[in-house]
Amino acid sequence: MATQMQQSFTRAPTTTKYNAAHPVCALGPEEISYASELIRSLWPEHTDLRFKTITLDEPPKALLLPYFQAEREGRSLPHIDRKAFTSYYIRNTDRFHEAIINLSTGKVENNVRLGANIHGNGDYEEILLIEKNALEDERVKAEIAKLNLPEGTVVCADPWIYGSDGMNDDERLYQVFLYMRDPSNPSEDDSCHYAFPLPISPVLECNTYKVIRVDLLPTGKDNTIKPTSAWKPVPPNEYISEHQDLRKDLKPLHVVQPEGSSFTIEPTGNNTMQTISWQKWQFHLHYNAREGPVLFNVQYDGRPLFYRVSLSDMNIPYADPRQPFLRKSAFDLGDAGAGAMANNLQLGCDCLGNIQYVSSTIADDKGTPVPLDNCVCVHEQDGGIGWKHTNYRTGRAAVTRNRELVLQTIITVSNYEYILAYIFNQVGEFTYEVRATGVLSTQPIDHELCGENGEGVPWGTVVHPGVLATHHQHVFSLRIDPNIGSLTEGNQLVYSEAHPMPIDDFNPHGTGYTATDTVVTHSSGLDLAPDANRVFKIVNPNQKNKINGKQIGYKIMAPPFQKILSAPESFNYKRAEFSSNNIYVTKYADHELYAGGWYTNQSRGGTGVRSWANRKDDVAGGKHGEDLVVFVQFGINHIPRIEDFPVMPCEKISVHLKPVNFFDKNPGLDVPPSEQVFNKSTKAEEVAHQQGGSVEMEVGKGGECCGTASVNAKLQKLDI
Amino acid sequence: MATQMQQSFTRAPTTTKYNAAHPVCALGPEEISYASELIRSLWPEHTDLRFKTITLDEPPKALLLPYFQAEREGRSLPHIDRKAFTSYYIRNTDRFHEAIINLSTGKVENNVRLGANIHGNGDYEEILLIEKNALEDERVKAEIAKLNLPEGTVVCADPWIYGSDGMNDDERLYQVFLYMRDPSNPSEDDSCHYAFPLPISPVLECNTYKVIRVDLLPTGKDNTIKPTSAWKPVPPNEYISEHQDLRKDLKPLHVVQPEGSSFTIEPTGNNTMQTISWQKWQFHLHYNAREGPVLFNVQYDGRPLFYRVSLSDMNIPYADPRQPFLRKSAFDLGDAGAGAMANNLQLGCDCLGNIQYVSSTIADDKGTPVPLDNCVCVHEQDGGIGWKHTNYRTGRAAVTRNRELVLQTIITVSNYEYILAYIFNQVGEFTYEVRATGVLSTQPIDHELCGENGEGVPWGTVVHPGVLATHHQHVFSLRIDPNIGSLTEGNQLVYSEAHPMPIDDFNPHGTGYTATDTVVTHSSGLDLAPDANRVFKIVNPNQKNKINGKQIGYKIMAPPFQKILSAPESFNYKRAEFSSNNIYVTKYADHELYAGGWYTNQSRGGTGVRSWANRKDDVAGGKHGEDLVVFVQFGINHIPRIEDFPVMPCEKISVHLKPVNFFDKNPGLDVPPSEQVFNKSTKAEEVAHQQGGSVEMEVGKGGECCGTASVNAKLQKLDI
How does pLDDT run across A186-229, given as a tens digit for each residue? Answer: 999 999 999 999 999 999 999 999 999 999 999 999 999 999 99
Torsion of CA B297, B299, B303, B309, to 10 degrees: -60
Beta carbons within 8 Å of B10's beta carbon, 6+ residues apart: A702, B371
Residues in B closer than 8 angstroms to A415, CB to CB, are: 389
- Residue B21 is predicted with a pLDDT of 84
In chain B, what's the furthest Cα-to-Cα distance?
A: 88
Residue B701 pLDDT more than 60? no
In chain A, what's the furthest Cα-to-Cα distance?
A: 88
Taken as a whole, chain B contains a residue count of 720
> Is-catalytic flag, A332?
yes
- What is the Cβ-side half-sphere exposure of residue B536, based on CA atoms within 13 angstroms? 28
* Cβ–Cβ gap B222/A506 under 8 Å: yes
B521/B540 Cα distance (integer angstroms): 14
B584/B476 Cα distance (integer angstroms): 13
- Residue B626 is predicted with a pLDDT of 78
Give me the DSSP letters along A445-503: --GGG-STT----TTEEEEETTEEEE-EEEEEEEEEEE-TT-SSS--EEEEEEEEEPPS
A449/A463 Cα distance (integer angstroms): 12
- Residue A624 is predicted with a pLDDT of 59
Give me the DSSP letters along B78-110: PP---EEEEEEEETTS--EEEEEEETTTTEEEE
Cα end-to-end distance, chain A, whole Å: 41
Q: What is the chain A residue with the closest CA to B328?
A: A511
Range from A133-137, A166-170, A623-627, B118-122 carrying the lowest mean pLDDT: A623-627
Q: Does B321 touch chain A (CB under 8 A)?
A: yes
Residues 273-312 of chain A whose Cβ lies under 8 A from any Cβ of chain B: 279
Instruction: Please write the tens of the pLDDT for every residue from B127-157.
Output: 999 999 999 999 999 999 999 999 999 999 9
* Cβ–Cβ gap A549/B704 under 8 Å: no
Share of chain A above pLDDT 90, in %: 90
- Residue B696 is predicted with a pLDDT of 33
Q: Which of B361, B388, B505 to mutate to test the interface with A (most CBs of A within 10 A)?
A: B388
Residues in A closer than 8 angstroms to B506, CB to CB, are: 222-223, 321-322
A108-A109-A111 Cα angle (round to 5) = 75
* Cβ–Cβ gap B451/A348 under 8 Å: no
Q: Does B262 touch chain A (CB under 8 A)?
A: yes
In this structure, are residues B106 and B100 in contact, taking their beta carbons and an 8 Å threshold? no
Residue B218 pLDDT more than 80? yes
pLDDT band with cut points at 50, 70 and 90 for residue B623? low
What distance in Å separates residue B719's CA from the closest CA in chain A?
14
Share of chain B above pLDDT 70, in %: 92
- Residue B684 is predicted with a pLDDT of 81
Number of helices (H), then strands (E), belonging to chain A: the values are 9, 33
**Of A601, A572, A605, A644, residue with least CA distance to A321:** A572
Q: Who among A503, A570, A680 is closest to B348 (CB)?
A: A680
pLDDT band with cut points at 50, 70 and 90 for residue B719? very low
The continuous run of DSSP H or E covering B613 comes out as helix B609-613
Instruction: Please write the tens of the pLDDT for every residue from B291-303.
Output: 999 999 999 999 9
Bond prior to B324 in cis (omega within 30° of 0) = yes
- Residue A541 is predicted with a pLDDT of 94
Q: What is the chain A residue with the closest CA to B499?
A: A565
Q: Does B240 touch chain A (CB under 8 A)?
A: yes
pLDDT band with cut points at 50, 70 and 90 for residue B348? confident
3-state secondary structure of B554: strand
DSSP A705: B
Residues in B closer than 8 angstroms to A320, CB to CB, are: 512
Residue A8 pLDDT more than 90? no
Q: Who among B253, B427, B501 is closest to A255 (CB)?
A: B253
**Of A156, A153, A176, residue with least CA distance to A231:** A153
- Residue A449 is predicted with a pLDDT of 98
**Of A342, A334, A358, residue with least CA distance to A267:** A358
Instruction: Please write the tens of the pLDDT for every residue from A552-609.
Output: 999 999 999 999 999 999 999 999 999 999 999 999 999 999 999 999 999 999 999 9
Q: Which of A349, A372, A539, A690 to mutate to test the interface with B (most CBs of B within 10 A)?
A: A349
Beta carbons within 8 Å of B347's beta carbon, 6+ residues apart: A676, A681, A682, A683, B355
CB count within 10 Å of CB B9 equals 17
**Average pLDDT score, chain A:** 92
Beta carbons within 8 Å of B664's beta carbon, 6+ residues apart: A642, B545, B546, B547
- Residue A20 is predicted with a pLDDT of 62
Instruction: Please write the tens of the pLDDT for every residue from A401-431.
Output: 999 999 999 999 999 999 999 999 999 999 9
Residues 438-497 of chain B whose Cβ lies under 8 A from any Cβ of chain A: 438-439, 450-456, 458-459, 461-465, 471, 496
Q: Catalytic residue among A124, A162, A416, A422, which?
A: A416
- Average pLDDT of the segment spanning A90-107: 97
Give me the DSSP letters along B658-713: EEESSSSS-TTTTSPP--HHHH--EEHHHHHHHTTS--S--B-TT--B-HHHHHHH
Residue A3 pLDDT more than 60? no
3-state secondary structure of A34: helix
Instruction: Please write the tens of the pLDDT for every residue from A141-160.
Output: 999 999 999 999 999 999 99
**Average pLDDT score, chain B:** 92
pLDDT band with cut points at 50, 70 and 90 for residue A168? very high
In this structure, are residues B316 and B474 in contact, taking their beta carbons and an 8 Å threshold? yes
- Average pLDDT of the segment spanning B615-639: 89
pLDDT band with cut points at 50, 70 and 90 for residue B317? very high
**Of B602, B569, B596, residue with least CA distance to B584:** B596
Residue B158 pLDDT more than 70? yes
State how beta strands A524-526 and A273-278 pair. unpaired
Give me the DSSP letters along A520-553: --B-EEE---GGGT-EEEEEEEEEE-TTT-PEEE
* Cβ–Cβ gap A561/B514 under 8 Å: no
- Residue B687 is predicted with a pLDDT of 54
Instruction: Please write the tens of the pLDDT for every residue from B235-273.
Output: 999 999 999 999 999 999 999 999 999 999 999 999 999
Residues 47-86 of chain A whose Cβ lies under 8 A from any Cβ of chain B: none
- Whole-structure pTM over 0.90, yes or no? yes
Residues in A closer than 8 angstroms to B360, CB to CB, are: 703
- Residue A621 is predicted with a pLDDT of 74
Residues in A closer than 8 angstroms to B681, CB to CB, are: 254-255, 347-348, 351-355
Beta carbons within 8 Å of A115's beta carbon, 6+ residues apart: none
Residues in A closer than 8 angstroms to B26, CB to CB, are: none
Q: Does A435 touch chain B (CB under 8 A)?
A: yes
Q: Catalytic residue among A332, A364, A617, A644, which?
A: A332
- Average pLDDT of the segment spanning B282-295: 98
* Cβ–Cβ gap A257/B258 under 8 Å: no
What distance in Å separates residue B590's CA from the closest CA in chain A?
30
- What is the Cβ-side half-sphere exposure of residue B133, based on CA atoms within 13 angstroms? 23
Q: Who among A394, A681, A710 is closest to B266 (CB)?
A: A710
